[in-house]
Amino acid sequence: MNSQEERQWIARCREGDREAFGPIVNAYMKRAYFTALGMLGDGEEAYDISQEAFVRAFRAIRGFDPSSDFAPWFFRILRNLCLTALARRRSRGVDSLDEMAEEGREPDAGERFRPDLLAERSEAAERVWRGLAALDPKSREVIVLKDLEGYRYREIAEILGVPIGTVMSRLFHARQKLKAKLESGEGLRAV
Amino acid sequence: MRCEEFPDASMAYLDGEMEAEARRRFEEHLAACPACRAELDALRRVKEVTAGMRLADREDRDWELYWGRVYNRMERGAGWILLSLGAIVVLVFGAYHAFLSIWSDASLPAVIRIGIGCALLGIVILFVSVARQRLYAWVRDPYRRVQR
């Protein structure tokens, strides 16, 4: 779908046409799922939350500025739902990734960030996956958006609602933290 | 370029988001600064391993059903909102009239009427208590400013 077609579908959605949202959902569903998966490390939760993000986006579509890009606006909704889900884990009394990261503990691989969520399983990939899991959410999200999903800085800045300089700064610190996690394991050289 | 500029500059350099002139100045600095060069190499390896990692796809059936599930949620969401609103209006209206008719019924013993009044007051207290708890949790929610 090109941007012209996307704008036409969105214009119909803004008039309340639910069916017109189908092509938009089909165009973004996989990116939405993988972004949520990188944030949450749980396939079923990512599948569910990515769908909920589309529902929320449709409900709010009249507030969307049709002259701007849909993707950053939508992924901001998705990102916020992921943060809410992470906060909910904390409120349920389950150890959150933040807490585990602060305490220097690895997440329970048996529950989330399981190795079978990787397309190609290798010792190196599993170590990076665990390293990502051990990061705080803000560090993890910027790495997911940049390295796993391939967004440009401008897009990440729009999704996170911060200046590009902040994106670069967060990315630098996130990569440093990840480097430290990997080095504290068996060493980055082995990766 | 100075070492203090390394954090942002190194990211823009590694991610290919640096202008040609800034890139030239950054490379000049790297040639003269072994510490920044070593740090850049380490960060490059981190980027390579994360960018090379791929997450497993779901079964085709999950994607075939995806839009239908989203559509159902959209449709049912509107249904639930309308149903809830309607139910609240009907319940409040019914409860108000039931209370008035019982309260004004002189044939009922005073103790029954007082009991019903207490029960209603209890419901109001519980409702206010739950609403206050929710408000307290919302105020303390670190993500409450997040736009949805």
Question: So what's the ipTM on this one?
Answer: 0.79
Q: Is residue B42 part of a domain?
A: yes
d(CA B8, CA B19): 13
- pTM for this prediction: 0.74
Q: In the predicted model, what is the mean pLDDT of chain A?
A: 84
Domain boundary among B51, B70, B88: B51
Tell me where in chain A the CATH 1.10.1740.10 domain(s) lie: 1-94
Residue A9 at interface with chain B, using a CB cutoff of 8 Å: no
Domain boundaries, position B123: 105-148
Domain boundary among B51, B72, B88: B51
Residue of B8, B63, B71 with shortest CB distance to A169: B8
Tell me where in chain A the CATH 1.10.10.10 domain(s) lie: 95-191
Q: Say if the Cβ atoms of A84 and B58 lie within 8 Å.
A: no
pLDDT at position A174 is 94
pLDDT digits (tens, 9 = 90+) for A120-167: 777 878 888 888 888 888 899 999 999 988 999 999 999 998 999 999
Residue B8 at interface with chain A, using a CB cutoff of 8 Å: yes
Q: pLDDT: is A90 or A95 the higher one?
A: A90
Alpha-carbon gap: A107 to the closest alpha carbon of chain B (Å)? 18
pLDDT at position A189 is 43
Q: Say if the Cβ atoms of A118 and B45 lie within 8 Å.
A: no
Closest listed residue to residue A60, CA positions, set B57, B83, B147 = B147
Residue A112 at interface with chain B, using a CB cutoff of 8 Å: no
Q: Say if the Cβ atoms of B58 and A22 lie within 8 Å.
A: no
User: Which class in CATH covers the domain with range A95-191?
Assistant: mainly alpha
pLDDT digits (tens, 9 = 90+) for A15-47: 989 999 999 999 999 999 999 999 999 999 999
Instruction: Assess contact for A188 and A127: CB atoms under 8 A.
Output: no
The count of structural domains within chain B is 2
Cα angle B89, B90, B92; round to 5: 65
Helix (H, G, I), strand (E, B) or coil at A135: coil
Q: What topology does CATH give the domain A1-94?
A: Rna Polymerase Sigma Factor; Chain: A (1.10.1740)
From A150, which residue of chain B is nearest by alpha-carbon distance?
A: B51
pLDDT band at A93 (very low <50, low <70, confident <90, very high): low
* Neighbouring-strand partners of residue B55: A118
Alpha-carbon gap: B76 to the closest alpha carbon of chain A (Å)? 10
